[in-house]
Structure 1
Amino acid sequence: MRLEPIATVSDLVERLDWQLDDDELRIAAGALEDASDLARSYGRDWDAESVPRLVRTLVLKACRRYMSNPNGYTQSRAGDETLGWNDAAGENAGTVYFTDDEQKLLRGLAGKNPALVSATISAWGPQRKRPVGLVPVDGSGKPFPLFAYEDQPW
């Protein structure tokens, strides 16, 4: 079952500083699908109507980041036309992605925050001490002596 993107292309266009041509509109639609799928993988299967507003904001933010710098450049120079990128963004350079903080926020909005829980454990019922070296036998009710030395049971 394929879900609709969490945000629309018109929502994204409102956040950009320039008018998109036909190719950019196509790329924007694909970026919104990718960002929506990623948001659902970090969070839950939100549909476009019931998605929290902050999730929609994060999807649009990731798409705006991608549309502003689709190649993932980290350095640009006008004089000699030097462009550069590095591995700081890792495998996410030039793709739609969520930062680590955005991923944590999506998990939190979905209720998937990992937590460490400490539980108190106590014995239930009376504590009976078995005689040393005797093992229970089914049916007879009488324990069977096995290695029944008081000072060295095993």
Structure 2
Amino acid sequence: MADFATLDELKARLDWTLDADEERIAASALEDASDLARAYAGRDWEPVTAAPRLVRTMVLKACKRYMNNPSGYTQSRAGDETLGWNDGAGDDAGTVRFTRDEQTMLAELGGRKPGLYSVGVSAWGSDVRRYRNRQSWGYNRDIPAGFVPSASGKDIPLFADEEEPW
């Protein structure tokens, strides 16, 4: 699979010239970020040029963050040479990663929309009947009509009748 961004595009965003080792690391970071973008989006774009530009932008941002701090340090001192990191990023410290907002945006770009959904429910073995909703807006609509099993053995109607289905 191709990466969403090129090494030259990443080099243009960095403040220094990469040596051979850093180029190798940057190429791996682009591959990892592209794979993560596909995973968070839940889809792949073939060819990669079919992906929204925002995917490329987020891949480049994640790679730039990683290249600026590949070890995941959270503290540095020049005087006594103190370096430090914490568990704030968890297992992702020192790896290519997307922020929570970027993960959400990638999911939305891939077609995953978070939120509540409604699902129609009907009784087992029900049929659909037309009725006119006289109390509301006066339109016709299909409703399921059937029975719900009960513990007593006598089935309970899902709707009272066609005149008053609720």
Q: TM-score range by the shorter chain?
A: 0.7 to 0.9
In structure 2, the residue matched to 1:105 is 105
- The answer as to 2:15 corresponding to 1:4 is no
Q: How far has the Cα of 1:62 moved from its partner?
A: 0.3
In structure 1, the residue matched to 2:50 is 50
Superposed CA deviations along residues 46-89 of structure 1, whole A, max 9, x for unmatched, are: 24211110000000000000000000000001110000000001
In structure 2, the residue matched to 1:35 is 33
Question: Are residues 83 and 128 of structure 1, via their aligned partners in 2, closer, same or farther at CA, if it must alter by over 3 Å?
Answer: closer
Q: How far has the Cα of 1:121 moved from its partner?
A: 5.2
Within 5 A, what are the aligned runs for 1:107-122?
107-119=107-119
In structure 2, the residue matched to 1:146 is none
> How many Å separate the matches in 2 of 1:10 and 1:109?
25
Q: How far has the Cα of 1:119 moved from its partner?
A: 4.4
The runs of 4+ residues in structure 1 deviating greater than 6 Å are: 126-129
Where is the strand percentage greater, Structure 1 or Structure 2? 2
Scaled by the length of structure 1, what TM-score is found?
Answer: 0.77
**Which has the greater radius of gyration?**
1
State how many pairs are aligned: 130
Point out where structure 1 has 5 or more consecutive residues left out of the alignment: 136-154
Code of the aligned partner of 2:114:
P
Scaled by the length of structure 2, what TM-score is found?
Answer: 0.71
> How many Å separate the matches in 2 of 1:24 and 1:128?
68
> How many Å separate the matches in 2 of 1:119 and 1:48?
35
Superposed CA deviations along residues 86-120 of structure 1, whole A, max 9, x for unmatched, are: 00011110000011111000001111122212346
Question: Are residues 125 and 36 of structure 1, via their aligned partners in 2, closer, same or farther at CA, if it must alter by over 3 Å?
Answer: same
Code of the aligned partner of 1:61:
K
Point out where structure 2 has 5 or more consecutive residues left out of the alignment: 131-144, 155-166
In structure 2, the residue matched to 1:139 is none
- The CA RMSD over aligned residues, in Å, is 2.4
- The answer as to 2:79 corresponding to 1:88 is no
> How many Å separate the matches in 2 of 1:109 and 1:40?
10
